Amino acid sequence: MSSTASKISGDKKTSSGGNGSIRTYDNYIDGKWQKAEDGKTFPSLNPANNNEIIGHFASSSEADVDKAVKAAAKAFPEWKKTPAPHRAEILLKAAQLLKERKEELATIMVKEMGKVIKEARGDVQEAIDMAEYMAGEGRRLFGHVAPSELREKFAMAVRVPIGVVGLITPWNFPIAIPSWKLFPALVSGNTVVLKPASDTPLCALKLVEIMIEAGIPPGVLNFITGPGGKMGMALVEHPLVKAISITGSTEVGKKVAGRCGELMKRISCELGGKNAICVMDDGDVELAAEGAVWGAFGTAGQRCTAASRIIIHKNRYEEFKEVFLAKVKALKLGSGLDPKVGVGPVINKSQLKSINEYVEIGQKEGAKLLYGGKILAGELESGCFHEPTIFADVKPNMRIAQEEIFGPVTALIPVNSYAEAIEVANGTQFGLSLSMYTQNVNQAFRAMDDLESGIVYINAPTIGAEIQLPFGGTKQTGNGHREAGITAIDQFTEWKSIYVDYSGRLQRAQIDLPAK
Ligand code: UN1
C-alpha cells in the first residue's frame, strides 16, 4: 500500500528566544500536514528545563476536529474492506521503523516528557511489542463458530470495526499508550482521530510520522493537537465519531464516559490508581524494598500503576523502612539524559505544585515525613523537580493514602495481619494494580484471589505490565474495558452474528424442536 502523503511534518521556523531553531509542527489530516484553522499554536516545554521549547504545535479548535473526523469517516469504507492481514503489514513495517529509531525516539521522549533514558527506551519498546502483537492479530481477529440447533444451518459470530474512533492519550507513556490504542484500532479496521496530551505532542507526532512512512493511507490516521478539554469533548460530541478510548484522570474520564453514555457511544476509560505493594511478615524485605523503589519512583511516580502505598506487616515495618530509606537516599535526581539519574522531573509546573500540596496535606494529616518533600531550587529550578518523598506511619484513610498524587510520593502503612493488609490494599476507590511480597505459596494464591484489582503482582512491584495481557482496572479505575492483549480488540470491534440456512426450507429456531 502506498501513500502520497508528505512524510515531513510541519515547517521550520527560527525562534527569537535564543534556543536556535524551533520547529512548528502541524496537524495531520486526510494525508496532509496542515495548520490549525485559526493558525494558533502552543509550545511544548522540556520539563527538565522550562526555558527550552521542544516545538510549537497546532492549537486546534472544533473546526479542526470536524475536519479530522470527516477525513476519517471518508476513509473508513475502504479501510474496512482492506483485508486485515494487509492492514497488519503496515503495523509490522511500523514495528521495524520503531526499532530503527528507538534511540532517537527515546531521546526525544526524555526531552519532552522527562522520564529517564532507560525508561524512555522501554516506552518505545512497548510500542514495538504492541505493533508486532497487533500485526499478528491481522491473521487472527478470531470470531467464533457455534453449532446451530437446526439442521443444515451454519452459525458464526465475526468481529467488525466500529467506524471512526477518537483516541485521547496521556503524557506519561507518550508513545506506548498511543500505540496501545492506535494499533488495535487500526488492525480491527477502524479509522482514527488521535489527540495526544498537550504536554507531549512531539512524541505522538513521531509515531504518526512512522505510520505515514509505513504506508498508512490518507484519512485512516488523523492527528490533531491542542487543548484537551475542549477538543476531547468536540471529539465525543461529533456525530461521526462512534467510539472513544481515553486514558487520563478519573475526573475527566467520568465526564467523557457520562456524555458517551447519553450519546450511546462506545467508551473505554483507563483512569486513576492508588496502587499498593503489600510486604508480608514472610516477605523478602530486600527484594520488596528494591521493588518499592522502582514501583514508587520509576517515571517519577507518574504511572497509573505507581506504588503510592506500601503496606507493611508490623513485624517487618522497621526493617523495611530502614532498607527502603537507604535505597531511596541513593537515588539521583536530575535530567533523564544522564544515565546515572534514577528520577527525572515531573511533567510540568502545575503538576509539581499539586504534588507538593500533597506533601503539606500529608503533614497536616499527621503522617511522618520520612524523606524528601521539597521542590528543587537552585540549579534545577527551571525544571520541574520534586524530591522522592516518603511518608511513614500513614493511616489508610488519610488523603495521601486515598487520592492519586501522580508524582514521586509514597506512603508507608503499617498493618497487623494478612487480613488487614488485604483490607487496606482494597480500601480505595481504585482497582488498578496491587502487589504482594510473600514467600508462602498458599498466601500468594490467596492474595491473587483477595486483591481487588485488574492487575496483581506477586513478588514484583505494581508496575511492569507486558502488552500480551489485559491492562486496566476495576472500580473507579475504568469502565470494564481492558487495553492490550487480546482484549484490546474488544474495545474496537462490534460483534456480528451470522446465520446461514442452507436447508432450502423455513426452519424456526426455538419452535421446530426435534421429535420426541
Ligand atoms: C501506566 O501505569 O501508566 O506496566 C502505564 C507498566 C507499563 C505501562 C504503565 N508497561 O509499568
350 phi and psi, to 5 degrees?
Answer: -70, -35
Distance 434 CA to ligand 1 centre (A): 13
Using CB atoms within 10 A of its CB, is residue 146 exposed (0-12), middle (13-18) or buried (19+)? Answer: exposed
Tally the domains of the chain.
Answer: 2
Does residue 138 form part of some domain?
Answer: yes
CA distance 313 to 282: 9
Instruction: Examine the domain organization and report whether 414 and 431 are in the same domain.
Output: yes
Instruction: Examine the domain organization and report whether 124 and 202 are in the same domain.
Output: yes
- Parallel, antiparallel, or unpaired for β 221-223 and 275-279? unpaired
Within a 13 Å sphere around the CA of 64, how many CA atoms are in the beta-carbon half? Answer: 30
| Active-site annotation holds for 304 | yes
295-350 pLDDT tens trace: 999 999 999 999 999 999 999 999 999 999 999 999 999 999 999 999 999 999 99
Distance 173 CA to ligand 1 centre (A): 8
**Residue nearest ligand 1's atom 6 by CA:** 464
Looking up residue 154, the CATH number of its domain turns out to be 3.40.605.10
Instruction: Examine the domain organization and report whether 75 and 195 are in the same domain.
Output: yes
Low pLDDT (below 70) residues in the chain: 1-20
Is the Cβ–Cβ distance between 437 and 291 less than 8 Å? yes
Q: Which of 304, 404, 420, 483 is catalytic?
A: 304
Q: At 76, which amino acid appears? A: F
Q: Report the chain's C-alpha Rg in angstroms.
A: 24
Instruction: Examine the domain organization and report whether 135 and 240 are in the same domain.
Output: yes
Residue entry with cell 504518526? 208
Distance 230 CA to ligand 1 centre (A): 27
Distance 17 CA to ligand 1 centre (A): 36
Instruction: Examine the domain organization and report whether 59 and 168 are in the same domain.
Output: yes
Range of the domain at 376: 275-458
Q: Tell me the β-bridge partners of 194.
A: 167, 223
Within a 13 Å sphere around the CA of 323, how many CA atoms are in the beta-carbon half? Answer: 17
Instruction: Enter the pTM of the model.
Output: 0.95
CA distance 78 to 72: 11
Does residue 174 form part of some domain?
Answer: yes
Does residue 464 form part of some domain?
Answer: no
Does residue 110 form part of some domain?
Answer: yes
How many other CB atoms are found less than 10 A from the CB of residue 454? Answer: 23
Instruction: Examine the domain organization and report whether 87 and 205 are in the same domain.
Output: yes
Is the Cβ–Cβ distance between 4 and 181 less than 8 Å? no
Mutate to test the pocket of ligand 1, among 173, 294, 405 (most ligand atoms within 8 A of CB): 173
Does residue 389 form part of some domain?
Answer: yes
The ligand 1 atom at the shortest distance from the C-alpha of residue 126 is: 10
Query: Helix 228-237 vs helix 250-263: angle between axes, to the nearest 10 degrees?
Result: 20
Instruction: Examine the domain organization and report whether 201 and 232 are in the same domain.
Output: yes
Instruction: Examine the domain organization and report whether 342 and 422 are in the same domain.
Output: yes
Does residue 7 form part of some domain?
Answer: no
The long-range contacts involving 448-455, CB below 8 angstroms and separated by at least 24 positions, are 450/422, 450/426, 451/422, 451/425, 451/426, 452/426, 453/275, 453/426, 453/477, 454/478, 454/482, 455/305
Distance 305 CA to ligand 1 centre (A): 6
pLDDT at 9: 60
CA distance 140 to 150: 28
Does residue 506 form part of some domain?
Answer: no
The ligand 1 atom at the shortest distance from the C-alpha of residue 302 is: 3
Instruction: Examine the domain organization and report whether 392 and 246 are in the same domain.
Output: no
Which amino acids bring their CB within 6 angstroms of ligand 1? Answer: 126, 172-173, 303-305, 463-465
Classify the C-alpha dihedral 95-298-327-431 as positive or negative. negative
pLDDT at 378: 85
Instruction: Examine the domain organization and report whether 207 and 327 are in the same domain.
Output: no
Mutate to test the pocket of ligand 1, among 303, 404, 406 (most ligand atoms within 8 A of CB): 303
pLDDT at 317: 98
| Active-site annotation holds for 269 | no
Q: What is the dihedral of CA 108, 245, 179, 112, to 10 degrees?
A: 10
Distance 303 CA to ligand 1 centre (A): 6
Q: Which of 112, 270, 387, 420 is catalytic?
A: 270
For 429-450, what is the HEC assignment?
A: CEECEEEEECCCHHHHHHHHHH
pLDDT at 286: 98
Task: Measure Cα distances from 360 to 306, 365, 389, 414 in Å.
Answer: 20, 9, 12, 21
The ligand 1 atom at the shortest distance from the C-alpha of residue 465 is: 4
Instruction: Examine the domain organization and report whether 225 and 120 are in the same domain.
Output: yes
Q: Tell me the β-bridge partners of 410.
A: 390
Looking up residue 324, the CATH number of its domain turns out to be 3.40.309.10
The ligand 1 atom at the shortest distance from the C-alpha of residue 172 is: 3
Is the Cβ–Cβ distance between 467 and 126 less than 8 Å? yes
Instruction: Examine the domain organization and report whether 253 and 283 are in the same domain.
Output: no
